[in-house]
Structure 1
Amino acid sequence: MIAFLASALLMGCVSKYRVDPEVPLTNLQDNEGYLGLVFNTLDPLKNIQIRNMETSEEFYIGRTDKGYSQITLKLIEGEYCFIGFDVYNFRVDYENQGSCTYVEAGELNYFAEFVVRDPITNTFSNYSRYVSLLKQDLPELCTAFVNEDCNV
């Protein structure tokens, strides 16, 4: 029962930020923006953790399967840092705040592609891969913010 409640609370945190393809899009508030990133991993990841640097709030954005996965979050404007994840039974935490970016309100902000090779992580920009995955997973959001690259 305790495990179920903990799982339900964690899922509540995930659904609070992660854009779900099964849920219709809602308008952004004046202080909200989208944050998009891609994970490129050989192993499933879970408990992916991000920190809002202004409020010090830390939250989990769920899990990914191995391969390429896009994650798009709906967040309050501010600076956010990717600070860790679990792979199998091993926790990977990054010192010095991890990789950080700023989310601008009213925008689709692309963060990076995180290439995870247990436990080494590199980041680089591959916006075209993010757009391709976004077009597949969230076509309405892609059309609204990327326009011509998302037309079928």
Structure 2
Amino acid sequence: MSRVPGAVHLVSTDGPAGSGGFTATAVTSVADTPPTLLVCANGANRSCGRLIENGVFGVSTLSHADEELAAAFAGRTGIYGEDRFRLGRWTRLVTGSPVLETAIAGFDCRVIEARPLATHLVIFGEVVGVHLGPAQPALVYRGRRFHGL
């Protein structure tokens, strides 16, 4: 799968269980009525647990300029927890989940279902808010490296 390019996203949450976030390429549209996204996440990830407990999440589709954020939320920089949210500019939409202002697109979602599958959770979210950032080159992941597109 490392040979298959994928768009890079930040998945974020905030609520009673606390804030959290992670970098993901396993994000896709599922339906348009109601608008629904699917996110796959490692079930052992603390941020994934917080997302499920909070019942809400944001998805920020990253531009090539956001590579530093992608690395930080992937745990590659030694920056963890709340400190990662000090990077970049964030906004909140309907659910209160953080969405990156500079994202190519941001989606605010309510969890409608989460299914365990092997080591991961497949999370379905109904889109309740959208943020469109500046049109710019996308960030993709291929060959275990980030690239601009």
TM-score (norm 1): 0.30
Structure that is richer in strand per residue: 2
Structure that is richer in helix per residue: 1
Whichever of the two has the greater Rg, that structure is 1
TM-score (norm 2): 0.31
